[in-house]
Structure 1
Amino acid sequence: MLGRLSITFLFLLITGLCSFMAHAKKPPPQPLTIAIGLENYDFNPLFTEFTRATGIKVKVVEFENNSLKSELLLRASNNALPDGIIVPADYMGLTALNLSEVPDDWLSTYLIDQVRTNIKANGTTLGVPIVFGNHLMLYYNRALVSEPAQSWQQLREQQQKLALKINWNYYEMYWYRAFLGTFGTSLILKGNVHLDTPAMVNALRWYKSLKEEAWLDVECDYECTVNQFLAGEVAYTINGSWMFQRFSKHFSDKLGVAQLPRLRGEPMRSYFSSHVMAFPDNALSGSKRAELKTLSEFLQSLPVQTNLWSSINALPVDRRALEMLKIQGIVQVEALISTLEHAQPMPNEAQMAFIWEAMLKGLTRHLAGVLDEHQAAHFMQHIVEKSISYEQEKKPGQ
């Protein structure tokens, strides 16, 4: 009997010891490196909370928005990409980043339908959505404006009577596309790029006419437009939902948000998109897959999604969290959601990189008087087709 007990005790001792040793040998979670854009939402508080909850450390690499894309492409050529990137969804079209396909079971079942359709590039899911919106709206200073202008004609009248000014990032194509959207065009139809269109001709003509208006300094770049608005030098600015937190903190209840102005009764149509976490250099096939999945689950979790508005003034991608926001009657939330009314989903196809470049080249030549609006639209189409053809020729086996 004593011998049997000794054997049993010895067995339990060995089993416990093996279990302890296995647990002791379990490696600590690997740290993650995540790249983000400086001017976008401040995700740092979320990463801090994530580390506190899971023990997984996150090193954040921040880039200026204007250089984020070029920095990522440079790192891709040097095999020095981070484990994850938080970027607007159209970055998923950058094939050079070699993004991992995201498994369906990594995505929350509560994603808003608009978001679910905006996380694919060429039919493949390449990002985990975190927030959505990323659209342009009209911000105004309530200390200078009692009733916001609803049309460009009203803006002109306010400028003439009250010397009120407006600014936006005039040479940035994301802004120009909102003006183009007034004329109801799609840049990509059935997989083909369409830039040489009557809509483009009309938009070019209108955009150039605005350059001559007294209310606008077209040489004022992105940071300049932000600083002018914060300093009260302009009454209006067109900027994105990502700037709401900064503007709101500065102006408090003096910040106004409205729809983009109409032209002859037609609304401007900004793009909207999601901010997603994507995984470059096939990161999901690497050793940090488990940690990246844990981060993906955390960012999509209901507690995080519910607190996105209070933490970074961003709209959640979880429909339950968005509904909870709506019923709170927060004026700013209602304004942000209302300004999505005329917004359109931004294509994530790889062609968009060439489209932005072609539109900029055509627009700048038109503004300089080198090309008229018809020639500029035709030039854009020529440039984009040439760029796409060249890219296809570079691919192996082509």
Structure 2
Amino acid sequence: MQKNNKELVLWHEFDGPGDTSIEVLEGICKLYTERFGIQVTPQVMNITELITGLNGVKDTCQGPQLAMVPADMSSYVENGLYSEVPGGLFADVLTEGALSTMQVNGVQYGVPVLRGNHLVVYYNKEIYASAPTTWDIFEEAAERLSAQGIVPIGADLQQGYWFIPFLSAFGGWPVEAGKPNLATSEMKQALHFIRNKMDQGVLTSLDGSHGLLEQFIDGKIGAIICGEWIYNHLDKHMKHKLGVCQLPVIAGRQSLSMSSSIGLIYPNHSLASEVRENILSFTRFMLSEECQSMWAFQVQRIPAHEEVQNHLAASAAPNKKEILSLLNHARPMPIDSFMIHIWEALSAGLNELPKSNPEQALQKMDLTIQKSLSAFQS
């Protein structure tokens, strides 16, 4: 229940202890409330809860006025009853390239606040003397590091987003010609690769919000594949020991991460409600140089505002400059309406992989997406 008819509720998923972004989001909401007299209440949840909540809006007609989400959640437009963002409304502060990251079939359903969201390699300089930019380096270090109780590299390989660099290194991509593209030889090769490397002790899979970060900081993992969004947390804890480099070359091919934006969407047709002007006012406040600079300099995120992003690049430490440069080597995340089914299928297959084998994991992916697409289309 809302306290009054002016209150705005904002859902978000900055939930892990390492995701310091929550500090700035809560600060901006508080600042806006104090200056404009309109209560903005952020509500945190994990990514699964956020997905479930947004996809339940159509059935329940209940939802927040705003949600801050990864760009691909723009595609939940039908289940989330998203409001369309009026054309050109924020063109004075955001480039067309930034705005396009939250368009579905050419229609604007979200407003980017942050850019990046790409994966990089973080490594411990006390374990690797130079940047481990090829997979061979992890293989060659395995025996030496295992004797010290250290795993060469880790990732969260129950999450489809972390799996994309391995798939891309074998020439695969989850979308082809505007359709899901999972049951492929490239997918099978990537699944075999990660299963073999986990069996050999070269690669470990841990929860990306907790265990992966804790063991890396503790020196139990030499390098991790993780998101640019976690840099501030690692920088605080590791300082001079932290290095950043591109994703590894595997069998002669460069791994590629997806990139996207994180921005505001407007569920339950909130822009058609009596609080429309308050919502748009808060959105513009979020895009102001003041607030965009808070994201950039307080928690070291990549702002959507290009001028602020340029200020960040000019003053950033070497590790942050590397993260910014690697954004140019990432591939934009597709935001087709079927992406929700792709992520669901990837997750199902990756959860099956440790319990059985790559063939069964691939079969699980294929069955999952066929079933979900059939239900979606019926």
TM-score by length of 2: 0.88
For the residues of structure 2 that align with 1:387 and 1:66, how far apart are their CA atoms? 17
Aligned to 1:46: 28
* Partner Cα separation in structure 2 for residue 318 and residue 168 of structure 1: 30
Describe the SS at the equivalent of 1:149: coil
> 1:72 touches 1:81 (CA, 8 Å); kept in 2?
yes
1:14 counterpart residue number: none
> Which residue number in structure 2 is paired with residue 132 of structure 1?
115
Counterpart selection for 2:278 from 283, 286, 291: 291
- Asked if 1:392 corresponds to 2:377, the answer is yes
Is the aligned partner of 1:145 residue 2:100? no
Counterpart for residue 332 of structure 1: 319
Q: Which residue of 1 aligns with 2:60?
A: 78
Further displaced range: 356-365 or 334-343: 356-365
The aligned counterpart of 2:344 is 357
In 2, distance between residues paired with 1:156 and 1:236? 13
In 2: Cα distance, 1:371 partner to 1:206 partner:
9
Q: Distance in 2 between matches of 1:331 and 1:46?
A: 28
Using the alignment, how far apart are the partners of 2:208 and 2:113 within structure 1?
28
Q: SS at 2:322's partner residue?
A: helix
Helix, strand or coil: the match of 1:108?
coil
Instruction: Give 3-state SS (helix, strand or coil) of 1:167's partner.
Output: strand
1:380 aligns with 2:365: yes
* 1:35 maps onto 2:11 in alignment: yes
SS of alignment partner, residue 99 of structure 1 = coil
Matching residue of 1:109: 92
- How far has the Cα of 1:52 moved from its partner? 3.0
CA RMSD of aligned residues (A): 2.3
Displacement of 1:368: 3.4
Q: Write the distance in 2 (CA, Å) between the matches of 1:254 and 1:66.
A: 33
Which residue is 1:167 aligned to? 154
1:58-97 correspondence to structure 2 within 5 Å: 58-74=40-56, 77-94=59-76, 95-97=78-80
**Structure 1 pair 331–112 and aligned structure 2 pair: CA distance change class (3 A):** farther
Supply the distance in 2 between the matched residues of 1:114 and 1:263 (Cα, whole angstroms): 30
The alpha-carbon deviation at position 323 of structure 1 amounts to 1.8
Q: Which is higher, the Rg of structure 1 or of structure 2?
A: 1
CA distance in 1, matches of 2:353, 2:219: 32
Counterpart of 1:310 in structure 2 is: 297
CA distance in structure 1 between the partners assigned to 2:368 and 2:32 by the alignment:
45
Structure 1 runs not aligned, ≥5 long = 1-27, 394-398
- Secondary structure of the residue aligned to 2:50 is helix
Structure 1 residue 369 corresponds to structure 2 residue 356: yes
Does residue 282 (structure 1) correspond to residue 277 (structure 2)? The answer is: no
Q: Could you tell me whether the CA contact under 8 Å between 2:167 and 2:173 is conserved in 1? A: no
Q: Could you give the per-residue CA deviations for residues 90-128 of structure 1, whole angstroms, max 9, x where no partner exists?
A: 111123111111112322334245423211123321111
Amino acid at match of 2:239: S
- State the distance in 2 between where 1:275 and 1:62 align: 15
Mapping of 1:199-214 within 5 angstroms? 199-214=186-201
The alpha-carbon deviation at position 68 of structure 1 amounts to: 2.4
For residue 18 of structure 1, what is the aligned residue in structure 2? none
Check conservation: 1:151, 1:263, Cα contact below 8 A: yes
Q: CA deviation at 1:294?
A: 0.4
The one-letter amino acid of 2:248's match is: P
Q: Which deviates more from structure 2 when the two are superposed, residues 356-365 or residues 30-39?
A: 356-365
Work out whether 1:323 is the aligned partner of 2:299.
no
Q: For 1:235, which of 222, 230, 246 is the aligned residue?
A: 222
Decide whether the 8 Å contact of 2:142 with 2:202 is kept in 1: yes
1:350 CA drift (Å) = 1.8
For the Cα contact (< 8 Å) 1:136–1:239, is it kept in 2? Answer: yes
**Deviation sequence 1:63-95 (CA, Å, 0-9, x none):** 123432224334654333111000101111123
Q: Percent identity among equivalent residues? A: 26
Measure how far apart 1:227 and its partner are: 1.8
Count of aligned pairs between the two proteins: 364
* TM-score normalised over the length of structure 1: 0.84
